[in-house]
Amino acid sequence: MDGRVARLPTVIVRPGAPNAAASSFASSVVREPFAGVDVVAPVPLTTKIVVIGHRTAVAGLVALHELDGGRLGADRALDLPNIAVTADELVASLHRLAGDRALGQVTEGADPAVINIVSTWPTVMDFAAASVLGLPRDQDVDSLVASYIEDFGPES
């Protein structure tokens, strides 16, 4: 048996409508403002979360699947490469990359239930094993936002 396990952080920016998942705000602070819609983040905008871009998540899963199993060794589980960001950083990136587009506002609106969940999440995931294996990685917050704009923006 050649089993492999990839642990994924929050995958962003997810297209479509917001949902009830605690992690939904990570996509909403980019997706809704880009569409000109105001959004209220349920956590402080300085909350650090560990994320992976939608393109990188898919490419990482494919790369792990195609990898020679002998390179994995006995430990068949690993964290995919990720970056830690805040909602503030995502919003700032959107403002840098959106050009002249009219953007919706992002404000804070504390939701204790979501804060209680998100506060238990790790703010660091060790992806050293994935790096050694050459799995793809997002370069920075701008690459996450740019990928969303390119793949799901009005011109896509």
Single-letter residue type at 34: F
Which residues have a Cβ under 8 Å from the Cβ of 48 and sit 6 or more positions away? 84, 85, 86, 123
pLDDT at 155 over 90: no
pLDDT at 74 over 90: no
Which residues have a Cβ under 8 Å from the Cβ of 144 and sit 6 or more positions away? 12, 13, 51, 53, 83, 85, 90, 93, 138
Whole-prediction pTM: 0.91
Residue from 8, 7, 58, 53 nearest 27 by CA: 53
Domain ranges of the chain: 5-149
pLDDT at 114 over 60: yes
CATH architecture of 5-149: 3-Layer(aba) Sandwich (3.40)
CA 78 to chain centre: 17
Q: What percent of the chain has pLDDT over 90?
A: 86
